[in-house]
Amino acid sequence: MRRGVLIVDDHALAREGLRGILARTDDLEIVAEASSGEEALHLARTMRPDLVLLDIRLGPGMDGLAVAAALCADEPAVKVLILTLHDTPEYVRAALAAGAAGYVLKDADAEELISAVRQVLAGHSALPLALINQALLPGARQVESDLARLDRLTPREREVLDHIADGLTNKAIARSLNVSPGTVKAHVERVIAKLGVADRTQAAVLATKARTAKA
């Protein structure tokens, strides 16, 4: 089954290039294109693509971060992958806070982009470690605070969090731990609540920070 992608970029040449890249695949198809935030939101809500490939800067009107926040709040089944030139920590943090499942730079090669699209569609996050470190490792004091939050988790919840950080879905975690998906879902909800994060993507980022700090 081919998965539908909505391309959002205010530059026609950029959209053309993305069309060419995705046309090489057998499992992805472009269902629509948008050049503005407002158009993107309308198309996403009416067509409900599987994934929105979204630039941050979109000219006048809504920017990509506003579109991502609105979509993730209203259409949770539609995945959002940010594709941008901007690698500043502020943008990465804002994209994660908006609910984006991935963040890819426009200088990535075609295979990296296709891989990120497939990861997000599979329910995983696509967040390059270099960007995570740059955006979310501000200093030793913050790392210590994050590690203290991890201490709130039970050993089983830490196992679940490690699997989340590895990009596993609830079903895959259930198979690994030999428990039911419902049990995993309950663990995930408790992990998110105890860590004080908004979703599993932010929980995965925190776990990755902890791994980096201990390395």
Taking the chain (215 residues) in runs of 10, the rounded mean pLDDT of each run is 93 93 93 94 94 91 89 87 84 82 90 93 80 56 61 89 86 91 89 80 78 60
The answer to whether 87 touches 131, Cβ cutoff 8 Å, is yes
Instruction: Name the residue ranges covered by the structural domains of the chain.
Output: 3-135, 139-214
Q: Strands, DSSP E only, in 79-119?
A: 79-84, 102-105
Helix (H) or strand (E) holding 84: strand 79-84
The answer to whether 96 touches 69, Cβ cutoff 8 Å, is no
Q: What is the pLDDT of residue 146?
A: 62
The single residue listed with the structure tokens 């980022």 is 205
139-214 is classed in which CATH architecture?
3-Layer(aba) Sandwich (3.40)
The answer to whether 195 touches 152, Cβ cutoff 8 Å, is yes
CATH superfamily of 3-135: Response regulator (3.40.50.2300)
Q: What is the pLDDT of residue 194?
A: 82
